[in-house]
Amino acid sequence: MDKFIIEGPTPLKGTIPISGSKNAALPLMAAAILGNSPTTIKNVPKLRDIYTFNNVIRVTGTHVNFDEEESTLTIDPANLAHLEAPYELVRKMRASFYMLGALLGKFGQAKVSLPGGCAWGPRPVDLHLEGMRKMGADIKLDEGYVIARAPKMMEGGTFKLEPSSVGATINLVLASVLRVKEFTIKNAAKEPDVVLLCKRLVEMGADIEGIGTSTLTVRAVDSLDGISTRNAADRIETGTFMIAAAMHPESEVTLTNVDVDDLGEFPDTFRKVGAEVEIGEDSVYVKAPAKLSPTSIKTEIYPGFPTDLQAQWATMMTQAEGKSSVTDTIYYDRFSYVPEITRLGANMEVEENTVHIEGKTPLKGASVMSTDLRASVSLVLAGMVAEGKTDVLRIYHLDRGYEDLEEKLTNVGARIRRTQQEE
């Protein structure tokens, strides 16, 4: 098992290229099996979750070729015959559950394990199953598996997502594009990952109305064709590196290969901390302020503040001059990083779904333990401004969602080294 050894504090100076988005790529990969010909997806990151989902898809008989040098993935569903996604793979990653919608949509049947993934918070799949029942599918649970069946054409209807859910929106769209006369999703997620999926499905031949709004209406088409397309840049990686740049007063970083239109309201919120920010056509320049201003945030559905950036923001606020708070309205149990950051010297206290932070506190290196993907990267950010040596353990979480993290940060001045963790 690997760990990071980080020597701080270090300013960051230089250019960081942003990788393709894992969260956008996974739905596109699921959509590829709906086509009648191969689909090629460019700008796919080399991440553990991508490799896991490749294997989930391969189990069905689909041919998957990942050209890592070119960051290009080709998926050919011509020999897809095994309509199952097994527990030993699905348990590793929640997004594998997209196979339910894709297999049900294309073949009218599927057997998919209930998902695993990050070890925090209740993220039930009830909405996915209720929506599929509403469109006319027969859904049963059997020994940890979802068994789904549907007639050649389902009547459909209207289903309201309460609350709005990216995963459920994606799964319901995948299930309906080939198999439902007309299905309307109310309170649909509007995140860039959902918009990208719907646009690419339309390129494949799907009939989807209301893309980019909270009401999506899907009408079945006879077939879909494979396409060649580009995956989106990772907006969460972009935000993470913006925060990293702001945390040391001498940092100055340019992020390249950015899909700036996907950042929503984040740049405007970020400017409130005092950082200088310039948004280019596909780049973001950040110059850290001499002093960080305390700025409280609440997570919201897109285009509001992303829940996937709240741990990083709270970590940044430990270096701001004054009191601030971070409230997560999406997931109420996403604060496992707080005890670890306090081990480094932060003054943080969790109250229900809010962490209260009092800064500025000097951080001092220590050993800290990763518990999930975004918590892990917040520990790296803290380690880069802490005095001395910080060991970040269990970094396999990071390998799920950040491509070449230590290389990208080391190239702009960080001192990070990957090594074996002693048992």
249 annotated to a ligand binding site: no
pLDDT at res. 358: 97
Q: Which domains does the chain have, with CATH numbers?
A: 2-18+233-420 (3.65.10.10), 22-223 (3.65.10.10)
pLDDT at res. 179: 97
125 annotated to a ligand binding site: yes
pLDDT at res. 121: 42
Q: What pTM did the predictor assign?
A: 0.94
Q: 3-class secondary structure for the chain?
A: CEEEEEEECCCCEEEEECCECHHHHHHHHHHHCCECCCEEEECCCCCHHHHHHHHHHHHCCCEEEEECCCCEEEEEHHHCCCCEECHHHHCCCHHHHHHHHHHHHHHCEEEEECCCCCCCCCCCCHHHHHHHHHHCCEEEEECCEEEEECCCCEEEEEEECCCCCHHHHHHHHHHHCCCEEEEEEECCCCCHHHHHHHHHHHHHCCEEECCCCCEEEEECCCCECCCEEECCECHHHHHHHHHHHHCCCCCEEEEECCCHHHHCCHHHHHHCCCCEEEECCCEEEEECCCCECCCCEEECCCCCECHHHHHHHHHHHCCECEEEEEECCCCCCCCCHHHHHHHCCCEEEEECCEEEEEECCCCECCEEECCCHHHHHHHHHHHHHCEEEEEEECCHHHHCCCCCHHHHHHCCCCEEEEEECCC
126 annotated to a ligand binding site: yes
Question: Across the 423 residues of the chain, what is the mean pLDDT of every consecutive 10-residue run?
Answer: 94 98 97 98 96 95 97 98 91 88 97 67 75 97 93 96 94 98 97 98 98 98 98 97 97 98 97 98 98 97 94 98 95 88 97 96 95 88 97 90 95 96 68
23 annotated to a ligand binding site: yes
127 annotated to a ligand binding site: yes
pLDDT at res. 120: 36
198 catalytic? Reply is no
The active-site residue, picked from 89, 118, 178, 346, is 118
